[in-house]
Amino acid sequence: MADITDIKAILYTEKSLSLQENGVVVIETSPKMTKNGLKEVLREYFGFVPVKINSLRMNGKVKRFKGIEGKRPDYKKFYVTLPEGANIESVEV
């Protein structure tokens, strides 16, 4: 069962801001989130069903800091096409 706590952030990058002009929002979530789970969360908490959802699995990079190797966490990115009149910009996640 997906929950609102699985959503990490709504991304505001140069690319995502240009997509928002066309009604597409980029959402970063935990790796266990699914398209159906995200659809449930958007319907329950924001009151709309998205038109289309595309997902992208991002693996965390392996980095070194002072000779010690570490790994950034894995996450998923979802490109959510919003229906006309829907808005989730003002929500703090």
Residue pLDDT, tens place only, 66-81: 999 999 999 999 999 9
**Phi, psi for 72 (deg, rounded to 5):** -75, 155
pLDDT tens-digit readout, 24-57: 999 999 999 999 999 999 999 888 899 999 999 9
Q: Determine the distance from the C-alpha atom of residue 47 to the mean position of all C-alpha atoms in its chain, rounded to a whole number.
A: 17
Domain ranges for the chain: 4-81
- Among 51, 58, 54, 7, CA closest to 29: 7
* Tokens read off for 85: 């009149």
For the domain made up of 4-81, the CATH class stated in words is alpha beta
Mean pLDDT of 7-28: 91
Q: List b or e across 38-72, with b for residues whose CB sees 16 or more CB atoms inside 10 angstroms.
A: bbebbeeeeeeebeebeeeeeeeeeeeeeeeeeee
